[in-house]
Structure 1
Amino acid sequence: MLIFSTLGHEGSNHHFVLQQYLVAHGIAQTTRIVLFDDFHCGARALIAGEADYLLQCAVHPAAAEITGTYRTAMAVVDAFISPSRPMALVRAMGSGEGSGKVGVQPATQSYADLSAWPTVVHEPTVLAVQAGLAEGRYEAGIVFASFAAAHAERFEVMEPIGTVCDAWIVYGREAVDEGRAVVWNGSPVARQFLERIGRSPKPGGS
């Protein structure tokens, strides 16, 4: 059985996208997912053979650090695009001890206008932002839309964000590039390239 690891807990965006990736490859039923609170822990587990692959969002604040720090022991073996879980900027109804503070995961900070809050607090995950809202530490936050729906009596949606399509990185222990670019030339954008230069895709999409 393959072991894939990523940032957790269950229900995180990384967990959600990893599940979509495994389904797309048809290996979800033969794969175990291991969740880590920190990408350094995930990288060390991959290198030690405790996991076979590691998934990380390319815009995660730790992406460059992880790629550089462990470059001699693990390699990027795949990349893809995937929409996130639907998101929203929500605000607590009524004032509390979190007034004036908005919580965000840094990669989501530009998804909405946060100028109404004098203090922006960074959390490592969207789930941590949700926990901060639930505990009254923040007046507002960028969270999964499902959080607002589940707690409609406490929070109102200030700005629906919807899904955001990001790039995702898969790391493994064995490099696959062989010193050249590994490109899916049958991809949807490859077909766009051919259409825009007036050429038809080859039969079979390659």
Structure 2
Amino acid sequence: MLIFSTLGPEGSNHHFVLQQYLGAQGIAQASRIVLFDDFHSGARVLIAGEADYVLQCAVHPAAAEITGTYRTAMVVVDAFISPSQSMALVRTMGSGEGAGRVGVQPATQTYADISAWPTVVHEPTVLAVQAGLKEGRYDAGIVFTSFATAHADRFEVADVIGTVCDAWIVYGRQPVDEGCAVVWNDSPAARQFQARIGQSSELG
């Protein structure tokens, strides 16, 4: 059985996207998911052979650090795009705007206009932002839409974000590039390229 590891806890966006990836690859039933608290832990698990692959969002704040720090022991073996869980900027019911604290995971903070809240607090995960809202530490936060739906008696949606399509990186221990670019020649983007070239040729 293949072991895939990614950032937890269960229900995180990394966990969600990894499940989508394994399903798309047709290997969900032949794989086990292990969740970790930070990407340095995940890298050590992979390097030690306790996991076969690690998934990381390419826009995660730790992506460049992880890729560089462990470049001799783990390598990028795949990349893909995937929409996130649906997201929204929510605020405590009746709190209004112009005061208080807003919690965000750094990669999400530009998804909505949060300038109405003077204090921005960074959390490591969207789930941590949700926990902060439930505990009353924040007046607003960028969270999963499912959180707003589940707690509609306490929070209202200030801005609908929806899903965000990001690039995702899969790390392994054995290189696959053989010194050349590894490209999906029949990808949707490749078909767009060919269509655009065809249109340009027709226009002369």
Q: TM over 0.5: same fold?
A: yes
Q: Aligned letter for 1:61?
A: P
For 1:44, the aligned partner's letter is R
> What letter is aligned with 2:39?
F
Residue in structure 2 matched with residue 204 of structure 1 by the alignment: none
2 CA distance for matches of 1:104 and 1:175?
35
Number of the residue aligned with 1:39: 39
- Indicate the residue corresponding to 2:3 in structure 1: 3
> Are 1:108 and 2:108 an aligned pair?
yes
* TM-score of the two chains, using structure 2 as the length reference: 0.95
CA displacement 1:159-181 (0-9 Å, x = unmatched):
00000000000000001000000
**Alignment of structure 1 residues 144-163 onto 2, 5 Å:** 144-163=144-163
Q: Shift of residue 93 of structure 1? A: 1.4
Deviations 1:15-42 (A, max 9, x none): 0000000000000001000000100000
Query: What 5-or-longer segments of structure 2 have no aligned partner?
Result: 200-204
CA deviation map 1:29-70 (0-9, x unaligned): 010000001000000000000000000000000000000000
Partners of 1:131 and 1:53 in 2: CA distance? 29
| 1:19 and 2:44 are equivalent in the alignment | no
Match of 2:143 in 1: 143
> Identity across aligned pairs (percent)?
84
Task: List runs of 5+ in structure 1 lacking aligned partners.
Answer: 200-206
Runs in 1 of length 4+ with deviation above 6 angstroms?
none
Give CA-to-partner distance per residue, 1:138-196, whole Å, 9 cap, x none: 00000000000000000000000000000000000001000000000100010010011
Measure the CA separation in 2 of the matches of 1:64 and 1:10.
Answer: 24
> 2:122 is aligned with what amino acid?
H
Q: Which amino acid aligns with 2:74?
A: M
- CA shift, 1:94, in A, is 4.0
The alignment yields a C-alpha RMSD, in angstroms, of 0.9
Q: What is the match of residue 195 of structure 1?
A: 195
Alignment of 1:63-102 (within 5 A): 63-95=63-95, 100-102=100-102
Q: 1:126 maps to which residue?
A: 126
Q: How many residues align?
A: 196
Quote the Cα distance in structure 1 between the aligned partners of 2:121 and 2:107: 12
Measured in 2, the distance between the counterparts of 1:183 and 1:51 equals: 25
Q: Deviations over 1:109-131 (max 9, x none)?
A: 00000110000000000000000
Give the distance between the partners of 2:178 and 2:6, measured in 1 at CA.
25
